[in-house]
Amino acid sequence: MQKRYLPIAIVTGVLFLIAVGGYIIPASSDGPPIRTLLDNKGGKVILNHASHVQTMQEDCGVCHHTTGNAQNPPACADCHAKKFDETFTAKHQNTLDDALCVSCHHLGATIDNFSHDDHVDDYSEGDCQSCHHDPSIESEPQACSNCHMDGSNSVLNLKKASHTRCADCHDDMYKDGIKGCSNCHTRSTNELEPAQQSCKSCHDTPADQLIPTTMNAFHTQCMGCHEDNGTGPFGDEACYQCHMK
Protein backbone atom coordinates (compact mmCIF):
# COMPACT_ATOMS: atom_id res chain seq x y z
CA MET A 1 0.00 0.00 0.00
CA GLN A 2 2.83 2.38 0.87
CA LYS A 3 4.58 1.69 -2.45
CA ARG A 4 1.33 2.51 -4.24
CA TYR A 5 1.15 6.03 -2.79
CA LEU A 6 4.88 6.73 -2.97
CA PRO A 7 4.85 8.12 -6.58
CA ILE A 8 1.88 10.34 -5.71
CA ALA A 9 3.71 11.67 -2.67
CA ILE A 10 6.84 12.37 -4.70
CA VAL A 11 4.91 14.21 -7.43
CA THR A 12 3.01 16.19 -4.81
CA GLY A 13 6.26 17.13 -3.08
CA VAL A 14 7.86 18.28 -6.32
CA LEU A 15 4.85 20.43 -7.23
CA PHE A 16 4.88 21.90 -3.73
CA LEU A 17 8.57 22.84 -4.03
CA ILE A 18 7.96 24.42 -7.45
CA ALA A 19 5.08 26.46 -6.03
CA VAL A 20 7.15 27.63 -3.05
CA GLY A 21 10.08 28.47 -5.33
CA GLY A 22 7.81 30.59 -7.50
CA TYR A 23 7.05 32.80 -4.51
CA ILE A 24 10.57 32.90 -3.07
CA ILE A 25 12.70 33.25 -6.21
CA PRO A 26 12.26 36.67 -7.83
CA ALA A 27 10.84 36.68 -11.33
CA SER A 28 13.08 37.48 -14.26
CA SER A 29 13.38 41.19 -14.99
CA ASP A 30 13.21 40.51 -18.74
CA GLY A 31 9.95 41.71 -20.23
CA PRO A 32 7.05 43.53 -18.60
CA PRO A 33 5.51 42.15 -15.40
CA ILE A 34 2.19 40.29 -15.43
CA ARG A 35 0.82 42.08 -12.39
CA THR A 36 2.15 44.88 -10.20
CA LEU A 37 1.32 45.35 -6.52
CA LEU A 38 0.95 49.00 -5.51
CA ASP A 39 1.10 49.55 -1.77
CA ASN A 40 -1.16 52.42 -0.75
CA LYS A 41 -2.59 53.70 2.51
CA GLY A 42 -6.03 53.63 0.90
CA GLY A 43 -5.67 49.90 0.28
CA LYS A 44 -3.35 47.79 -1.86
CA VAL A 45 -3.88 47.89 -5.62
CA ILE A 46 -3.14 44.96 -7.93
CA LEU A 47 -2.52 46.44 -11.37
CA ASN A 48 -3.00 43.99 -14.22
CA HIS A 49 0.00 45.20 -16.17
CA ALA A 50 -0.24 42.55 -18.89
CA SER A 51 -3.77 43.53 -19.89
CA HIS A 52 -2.75 47.18 -20.16
CA VAL A 53 0.24 46.27 -22.34
CA GLN A 54 -2.15 44.40 -24.63
CA THR A 55 -4.73 47.20 -24.66
CA MET A 56 -2.08 49.81 -25.48
CA GLN A 57 -0.67 47.52 -28.19
CA GLU A 58 2.71 47.53 -26.43
CA ASP A 59 3.06 51.31 -26.74
CA CYS A 60 4.70 51.73 -23.32
CA GLY A 61 5.11 55.48 -23.81
CA VAL A 62 1.38 56.02 -23.27
CA CYS A 63 1.87 55.45 -19.55
CA HIS A 64 5.62 55.63 -18.99
CA HIS A 65 6.26 59.02 -20.68
CA THR A 66 8.94 57.43 -22.86
CA THR A 67 9.00 56.49 -26.51
CA GLY A 68 6.92 53.49 -27.44
CA ASN A 69 10.10 51.69 -28.50
CA ALA A 70 11.68 51.78 -25.03
CA GLN A 71 12.55 48.20 -24.12
CA ASN A 72 12.71 48.72 -20.37
CA PRO A 73 10.81 51.88 -19.42
CA PRO A 74 11.30 53.00 -15.82
CA ALA A 75 8.79 51.93 -13.21
CA CYS A 76 6.44 54.70 -12.14
CA ALA A 77 7.87 54.72 -8.61
CA ASP A 78 11.37 55.35 -9.97
CA CYS A 79 10.39 58.93 -10.77
CA HIS A 80 7.19 59.44 -8.79
CA ALA A 81 8.06 58.99 -5.13
CA LYS A 82 5.70 58.47 -2.22
CA LYS A 83 7.53 61.43 -0.72
CA PHE A 84 10.28 63.55 -2.22
CA ASP A 85 12.80 63.37 0.61
CA GLU A 86 16.49 62.55 1.10
CA THR A 87 15.81 58.81 0.79
CA PHE A 88 14.29 59.22 -2.67
CA THR A 89 17.06 61.62 -3.70
CA ALA A 90 19.73 59.04 -2.89
CA LYS A 91 17.85 56.06 -4.34
CA HIS A 92 16.71 57.38 -7.71
CA GLN A 93 20.24 58.24 -8.77
CA ASN A 94 21.07 54.53 -8.79
CA THR A 95 17.85 53.22 -10.34
CA LEU A 96 17.37 55.55 -13.31
CA ASP A 97 19.27 55.64 -16.56
CA ASP A 98 21.50 58.71 -16.93
CA ALA A 99 19.66 59.68 -20.11
CA LEU A 100 16.52 60.35 -18.03
CA CYS A 101 18.18 62.97 -15.81
CA VAL A 102 17.30 65.82 -18.17
CA SER A 103 13.62 64.92 -17.85
CA CYS A 104 13.65 66.77 -14.54
CA HIS A 105 17.09 68.35 -14.17
CA HIS A 106 17.11 70.38 -17.34
CA LEU A 107 19.92 72.84 -17.94
CA GLY A 108 17.78 75.90 -17.50
CA ALA A 109 15.21 77.84 -19.43
CA THR A 110 15.60 80.39 -22.18
CA ILE A 111 13.02 83.04 -23.01
CA ASP A 112 12.93 82.12 -26.68
CA ASN A 113 9.13 82.27 -26.68
CA PHE A 114 9.19 85.90 -25.56
CA SER A 115 8.99 88.37 -28.44
CA HIS A 116 10.04 91.96 -27.78
CA ASP A 117 8.81 93.02 -31.23
CA ASP A 118 5.31 91.74 -30.49
CA HIS A 119 5.20 93.79 -27.31
CA VAL A 120 6.35 96.91 -29.16
CA ASP A 121 3.52 96.40 -31.65
CA ASP A 122 1.00 96.00 -28.84
CA TYR A 123 1.79 99.45 -27.43
CA SER A 124 1.82 102.84 -29.11
CA GLU A 125 5.25 104.10 -30.13
CA GLY A 126 7.09 105.63 -27.19
CA ASP A 127 5.00 103.85 -24.59
CA CYS A 128 7.98 101.76 -23.47
CA GLN A 129 7.32 102.61 -19.83
CA SER A 130 4.58 100.02 -19.78
CA CYS A 131 7.47 97.60 -19.25
CA HIS A 132 10.57 99.74 -18.69
CA HIS A 133 11.22 102.26 -15.92
CA ASP A 134 10.55 105.96 -16.32
CA PRO A 135 13.39 108.40 -17.24
CA SER A 136 14.22 109.05 -13.59
CA ILE A 137 15.64 105.51 -13.43
CA GLU A 138 16.72 104.83 -16.99
CA SER A 139 17.01 107.74 -19.42
CA GLU A 140 16.50 105.34 -22.33
CA PRO A 141 14.93 101.87 -22.23
CA GLN A 142 17.59 99.19 -21.94
CA ALA A 143 17.83 95.47 -21.37
CA CYS A 144 16.56 94.39 -17.97
CA SER A 145 19.71 92.34 -17.41
CA ASN A 146 21.85 95.49 -17.52
CA CYS A 147 20.76 96.27 -13.96
CA HIS A 148 18.90 93.21 -12.72
CA MET A 149 21.36 90.36 -12.40
CA ASP A 150 21.13 87.01 -10.68
CA GLY A 151 22.82 87.21 -7.30
CA SER A 152 22.63 90.99 -7.14
CA ASN A 153 21.97 92.41 -3.67
CA SER A 154 21.43 96.02 -4.68
CA VAL A 155 18.34 95.52 -6.87
CA LEU A 156 15.84 92.75 -7.52
CA ASN A 157 17.40 89.80 -9.31
CA LEU A 158 16.50 89.34 -12.97
CA LYS A 159 14.02 86.53 -12.39
CA LYS A 160 11.98 88.32 -9.75
CA ALA A 161 12.11 91.67 -11.53
CA SER A 162 10.95 90.20 -14.82
CA HIS A 163 8.22 88.09 -13.25
CA THR A 164 6.93 91.04 -11.23
CA ARG A 165 6.79 93.32 -14.26
CA CYS A 166 5.27 90.72 -16.59
CA ALA A 167 2.62 89.73 -14.05
CA ASP A 168 1.26 93.28 -14.16
CA CYS A 169 -0.26 92.45 -17.55
CA HIS A 170 -0.14 88.66 -17.77
CA ASP A 171 -1.77 87.58 -14.54
CA ASP A 172 -3.69 84.97 -16.54
CA MET A 173 -0.44 83.14 -17.34
CA TYR A 174 0.62 83.10 -13.72
CA LYS A 175 -2.71 81.64 -12.62
CA ASP A 176 -1.83 78.53 -14.63
CA GLY A 177 1.20 77.88 -12.40
CA ILE A 178 4.04 75.98 -14.07
CA LYS A 179 1.87 75.36 -17.14
CA GLY A 180 2.08 79.07 -17.88
CA CYS A 181 5.89 79.06 -18.01
CA SER A 182 5.95 77.78 -21.59
CA ASN A 183 4.38 81.04 -22.80
CA CYS A 184 7.82 82.63 -22.43
CA HIS A 185 10.30 79.92 -21.47
CA THR A 186 11.80 77.03 -23.42
CA ARG A 187 13.57 74.27 -21.51
CA SER A 188 17.16 73.44 -22.42
CA THR A 189 17.83 69.69 -22.47
CA ASN A 190 20.62 69.32 -25.00
CA GLU A 191 23.24 67.94 -22.61
CA LEU A 192 23.86 67.12 -18.96
CA GLU A 193 25.60 69.47 -16.59
CA PRO A 194 28.38 68.04 -14.39
CA ALA A 195 26.35 68.88 -11.31
CA GLN A 196 22.57 68.67 -11.64
CA GLN A 197 20.67 71.65 -10.29
CA SER A 198 17.89 71.22 -7.79
CA CYS A 199 14.36 72.19 -8.73
CA LYS A 200 14.53 75.12 -6.31
CA SER A 201 17.28 76.78 -8.36
CA CYS A 202 14.60 77.92 -10.82
CA HIS A 203 11.21 76.90 -9.46
CA ASP A 204 9.41 78.31 -6.45
CA THR A 205 6.91 75.45 -6.68
CA PRO A 206 7.63 72.48 -4.34
CA ALA A 207 9.02 69.33 -5.98
CA ASP A 208 5.91 67.26 -5.21
CA GLN A 209 3.88 69.70 -7.30
CA LEU A 210 6.37 69.82 -10.15
CA ILE A 211 6.57 66.01 -10.18
CA PRO A 212 3.41 64.36 -8.80
CA THR A 213 3.77 61.80 -6.02
CA THR A 214 2.97 58.19 -6.91
CA MET A 215 -0.59 58.51 -5.64
CA ASN A 216 -1.32 61.70 -7.57
CA ALA A 217 0.42 60.35 -10.68
CA PHE A 218 -1.60 57.13 -10.70
CA HIS A 219 -4.87 58.88 -9.96
CA THR A 220 -4.35 61.39 -12.74
CA GLN A 221 -2.94 58.96 -15.31
CA CYS A 222 -5.15 55.96 -14.65
CA MET A 223 -8.49 57.63 -13.98
CA GLY A 224 -7.89 60.23 -16.68
CA CYS A 225 -7.30 57.52 -19.30
CA HIS A 226 -10.29 55.48 -18.13
CA GLU A 227 -12.55 58.51 -18.19
CA ASP A 228 -11.37 59.55 -21.67
CA ASN A 229 -12.12 56.06 -22.97
CA GLY A 230 -15.33 55.65 -20.97
CA THR A 231 -14.24 52.33 -19.51
CA GLY A 232 -12.62 51.04 -16.34
CA PRO A 233 -12.79 52.63 -12.88
CA PHE A 234 -12.73 56.40 -12.55
CA GLY A 235 -14.41 58.95 -10.34
CA ASP A 236 -14.69 59.29 -6.58
CA GLU A 237 -17.18 56.43 -6.28
CA ALA A 238 -14.95 53.84 -7.99
CA CYS A 239 -12.16 53.57 -5.40
CA TYR A 240 -13.20 50.07 -4.32
CA GLN A 241 -12.70 48.77 -7.86
CA CYS A 242 -8.92 49.22 -7.50
CA HIS A 243 -8.18 49.44 -3.77
CA MET A 244 -8.41 46.41 -1.50
CA LYS A 245 -8.91 46.80 2.23
Angstrom distances, CA of residue 227 to CA of 33, 74, 141, 151, 221: 25, 25, 51, 47, 10
Task: Confirm whether 224 is domain-assigned.
Answer: yes
Total-model pTM: 0.61
Per-residue exposure over 92-123, b if at least 16 CB sit within 10 Å of its own CB, e if not = beeebeeebbbebbbeebeeeeeeeeeeeeee
Q: Dump pLDDT digits (tens) for 125-139.
A: 668 888 898 888 888
The pLDDT of residue 26 is 47
Q: Are residues 99 and 213 in the same domain?
A: yes
Range list of H helices, the chain? 2-24, 49-55, 61-64, 76-79, 86-95, 116-122, 158-167, 171-175, 207-210, 214-218, 224-229
Q: Are residues 113 and 183 in the same domain?
A: yes
pLDDT at 78 > cutoff 50 = yes
Highest mean pLDDT among 34-38, 176-180, 195-199: 34-38
Task: Confirm whether 200 is domain-assigned.
Answer: no
pLDDT at 222 > cutoff 80 = yes
Q: Are residues 38 and 157 in the same domain?
A: no
User: Are 45 and 244 within 8 A, CB to CB?
Assistant: yes
Q: Are residues 131 and 155 in the same domain?
A: yes
Q: Are residues 165 and 178 in the same domain?
A: yes
Q: Which residues contact 182 (CB under 8 A, 6 or more apart)?
A: 113
Selection from 100, 103, 105, 75 nearest residue 199 by Cα = 105
Q: Are residues 60 and 113 in the same domain?
A: no
Distance of CA 156 to the CA centre of its chain: 31
pLDDT-above-90 percentage for the chain: 3
Q: Dump pLDDT digits (tens) for 95-149.
A: 887 777 877 887 778 888 888 888 888 776 668 888 898 888 888 888 888 888 8
Handedness of CA 236, 237, 238, 240 (dihedral sign): positive
Q: Are residues 95 and 214 in the same domain?
A: yes
Selection from 238, 229, 210 nearest residue 80 by Cα = 210
Q: Are residues 131 and 115 in the same domain?
A: yes
Q: Are residues 81 and 58 in the same domain?
A: yes
Task: Confirm whether 235 is domain-assigned.
Answer: yes
Q: Are residues 59 and 82 in the same domain?
A: yes
Task: Confirm whether 234 is domain-assigned.
Answer: yes
Give the Cα separation of 102 and 104 in Å (integer).
5
Task: Confirm whether 2 is domain-assigned.
Answer: no
Range of the domain at 158: 109-188
Q: How many domains does the chain have?
A: 2
CATH of the domain at 92: 3.90.10.10
Q: Are residues 128 and 145 in the same domain?
A: yes
Q: Are residues 98 and 113 in the same domain?
A: no
Task: Confirm whether 172 is domain-assigned.
Answer: yes
